[in-house]
Amino acid sequence: MGKFCDVRKILGLAVAALALVCGGFASRAVDSSRERAVRSETARAAEGIRQRAADSLSALVSDLRLKVENAAANPRLVFALQGNADERTIRDLWRTEDWWRPWRTEFKIYAVAVKGVRLDVVEGIDAADLDADSLLRRARDRGDAAAEIIIGKGWPYAAAATTVRVSGRDKAPVLLLARPVDQVVMRQLVDKTGGAVTLTNGHAVLVDAGSESERAVLSQAIGSEATGTIFYAKDGAWAAALTPVAPALWLWTFVSTANAIRDAQGAASERMAMVWGVVIVVAGAAVVFGLRRPREQAPTSAQFPSPGAMTDGARSTSWTGANVRAKMGTSISHAIDGGTSPGPSGDGTVDPRGPTAVASSPVGSGGIAPESPFGRYTLLDRLGEGGMAEVYTAVTFGAQGFRRKFVIKRLRAEMAREPAAVDQFIDEANLASSMVHSNIVPVFDFGKVGEEYFMAQEYILGRDLTRVTRRSMERDGRPLPSEVALYAAHETLKALEYAHSRTNEQGQPLGIVHRDVSPSNVIISARGEVKLFDFGIVKAEGRVTKTQSGVVKGNVTFMAPEQARGVNVDARADLFSLGLVVFYCLTGQVLYAGNTTYELLVKAATGPDRDEFNQIRALPEPCGDILQRALQPKPDDRFQTARQFADAIAAHLGAGAARLAALMHHLFDEDFKIEETRFRSFGPLDPSGTSGPGSGSHQTEPRQS
């Protein structure tokens, strides 16, 4: 038996070591893949920039063609070139005649070749200093206008030439107009390409424009024109796209690799977490296998140790699902219930509430029984529970028949023994109680009953946007009208603007990010008021509990790409999530489709693709245009603040407020009457623990949290 144990131990440790070695190789492969992804994305961006630069130059010379053709068609110029006007006469006409003033003002150089491809009369430069032979030859051979960038005395010029149709000559004269490629032209290129530009002859900078830092690094690319169309910096921080302009003349354009690096790093971090999650699970299982003592005989039931029993002086390892997720370093969670992964519902669609939903539970199933005293509150209906908390409606009574209804969120008893869970619950209560805004559900009370923590939130007679949208689909066969959806978004943005702009006592931003903006967390009251709630996984400075880097929290189906990748997020992530909420309200469907949490997480991490943007563009105006901006995968391309988003909506609200109130009455009036009757009929508990006269036990549809 001893030898068998040794073999078992060696085998287990060998498998663990092999798993770690494989993890190392896999990590290298992920790194290589990340570098290739950066190169590939940079090349794609560089090609787009190069094409925009080429298009801008093409537009520049096309404009010159039209102008030289107009000049060549001027009757007075034709008349002057028809006769035997000498060089002095032509120069005098160009310098003094008013009819030539437009071209004299716009162009630095104007010239004419009377017979061949040699310029006979040139104004603005010496003929020997202007390399225009190929341009003149093209214009004469083709018989129409030609334009290109040429060099004149070491400086680039945009030039165009065309024949002047005169009679009485064997060869038509060729007119040439040219103006320098100066800072004005280069700044236009910067506006088109989005980065600094440098025009070079392959040895030196001829003219450049853009930010000083970008122009400085672009000089490193000069001399590499023959090596390819993209120049990559050694440190990978930038690249340059090459656009050929003319023989021995090139344009370098700055290409930032920051977005490519960020996106590739996010994807690599996700793959790395998966790799090492699997490695840790395999290695851990192998170690447990190797070190576990084998049973010598089949034990009877009396021989099995109790779940908490100690074996050989050490507690056995529990590889539960929670442990595996913790070791993998990735979790999807929610402050109320710990979060179950979103997946297909019974009808094949993804529940938009995702991991944030607290499912309805029958009265009395687990936890505290309904109509039970709980400190100064009496619990009425149990709305649901999750991994961290149970949620009840509750009522408190006072003198002279005073009563008030609340929603009680109670930390589950087993979680109260977990310091991290208690800290997170206290964090949520402290932050939420400080949020005083008409569009945010407030927290009025926090405390302990025995050893159980709880918080009391405002009770709102209403329904969340998930249920409002579903009921509209069920009853009217359509999702929410655009005015109603935009009004709900506009009011939610007021709440987000308030939260995002909160500061501490020293006036420093708290950096609050809700991180769980979803239809289930926006409640509409019976009167059409819109309120945001559940700041359970909020990100803010000064919180006791912090989210680990790489840990994903929130509702995957309404998550910004940077949040899904587990990287740091800012207020713009909430704005992206709200854009997805508006899409859901307008269509009755979530934007991302997937059969598993992993598929949805990968989809969320990349953001909308071409097909999904087509769905967005198909929305009624102006919703399509607004959401196209709100749902850009890159934060810099979205609305930058809640106020900016709200301003884009404000002009299109119409009668949204009145229509929302009317819609709530239409969809839920009977339900609201039942709930109010239930509340009014419930009296204080007598000392025996039973309710007073007229109390009822009707279970209403859960509507909050």
Q: Does 516 qualify as catalytic in the annotation?
A: yes
First to last CA, the chain: 57
Instruction: Tell me the average pLDDT across 27-43.
Output: 77
Q: Which of 117-131, 177-191, 199-213, 411-425 has the lowest mean pLDDT?
A: 411-425
φ, ψ of residue 187 to 5 degrees: the values are -65, -30
Instruction: Tell me the average pLDDT across 672-693.
Output: 66
**Which comes out higher in pLDDT, residue 361 or 418?**
418
Percent of the chain with pLDDT over 70: 80
Q: With 60 as the cut, is the pLDDT of residue 469 above it?
A: yes
Q: Within a 10 A sphere around the Cβ of 641, how many other Cβ atoms?
A: 17
pLDDT tens digits, 598-654: 788 888 888 999 889 999 999 988 999 999 999 999 999 999 999 999 999 998 888
- pLDDT score, position 83: 66
**Which comes out higher in pLDDT, residue 228 or 296?**
228
Q: Which pLDDT band holds residue 10 (cuts at 50, 70, 90)? A: confident
**Which comes out higher in pLDDT, residue 227 or 169?**
227
- pLDDT score, position 7: 76
Instruction: Tell me the average pLDDT across 545-569.
Output: 70
Q: With 50 as the cut, is the pLDDT of residue 538 above it?
A: no
- Nearest residue to 107 (alpha-carbon basis) of 75, 137, 130, 76: 130
Helix (H) or strand (E) holding 198: strand 197-200
Cα angle 477, 479, 484; round to 5: 135
651, burial (CB in 10 Å: exposed 0-12, middle 13-18, buried 19+)? exposed
d(CA 469, CA 581): 11
The mean pLDDT of the chain is: 78
Q: Which pLDDT band holds residue 480 (cuts at 50, 70, 90)? A: very high
Which token pair is 185? 């032209």
d(CA 220, CA 231): 9
Percent of the chain with pLDDT over 90: 22
Q: With 60 as the cut, is the pLDDT of residue 429 above it?
A: yes
Q: Which of 96-100, 258-262, 541-545 has the lowest mean pLDDT?
A: 541-545
Residue labelled with tokens 């609200």: 653
Output the CA–CA distances (angstroms, integers) from residue 64 to 67, 111, 180, 558, 693, in the order listed: 5, 14, 12, 51, 93
Which token pair is 316? 């056995």
pLDDT tens digits, 332-378: 333 333 333 333 343 334 444 443 333 333 333 345 555 788 888 88
Q: With 70 as the cut, is the pLDDT of residue 511 above it?
A: yes
Q: Which CATH class is domain 358-459?
A: alpha beta
Instruction: Select the highest-mean-pLDDT range: 289-303, 427-441, 583-597.
Output: 583-597
Q: Identity (one letter) of the amino acid at 561?
A: P
Are 113 and 176 a contacting pair, CB within 8 Å? yes
- pLDDT score, position 361: 38
Residue labelled with tokens 């000559």: 169
Instruction: Tell me the average pLDDT across 455-477.
Output: 92
- pLDDT score, position 374: 85
Q: Which of 337, 427, 516, 574 is catalytic?
A: 516
Residue labelled with tokens 């919703």: 623
Are 454 and 411 a contacting pair, CB within 8 Å? yes
Q: With 70 as the cut, is the pLDDT of residue 239 above it?
A: yes
Give residue limits of the domains in the chain: 1-56+200-290, 73-180, 358-459, 461-669
CATH code of 461-669, in short, is 1.10.510.10
Cα angle 425, 431, 435; round to 5: 135
Q: With 50 as the cut, is the pLDDT of residue 163 above it?
A: yes
Where b means 16+ CB within 10 Å and e means fewer, 601-637 reads: bbbbbebbeeebbeebeebeeebbebbbebbbbebee
* Helix/strand/coil for 76: helix
Instruction: Tell me the average pLDDT across 304-317.
Output: 34
Q: Which of 131-140, 259-268, 472-481, 675-684 has the lowest mean pLDDT?
A: 259-268
Q: Which pLDDT band holds residue 386 (cuts at 50, 70, 90)? A: low
Instruction: Tell me the average pLDDT across 544-559.
Output: 57
Q: With 80 as the cut, is the pLDDT of residue 387 above it?
A: no
- pLDDT score, position 686: 53
- pLDDT score, position 339: 37
Say how many residues make up the chain: 705
Is the link from the previous residue into 622 a cis peptide, with omega within 30 of 0?
Answer: yes
| Strand ranges, E, within 432-553 | 443-449, 452-458, 462-464, 522-525, 530-532
DSSP structural state of residue 376: T
Q: With 50 as the cut, is the pLDDT of residue 308 above it?
A: no
CATH superfamily, domain 73-180, is PAS domain (3.30.450.20)
- pLDDT score, position 172: 84
Are 78 and 166 a contacting pair, CB within 8 Å? yes
φ, ψ of residue 191 to 5 degrees: the values are -60, -35
What's the number of CA atoms in the CB half-sphere (13 Å) around residue 203?
2
- pLDDT score, position 161: 92
Q: Identity (one letter) of the amino acid at 429?
A: A
Instruction: Select the highest-mean-pLDDT range: 26-40, 287-301, 560-574, 621-635.
Output: 621-635
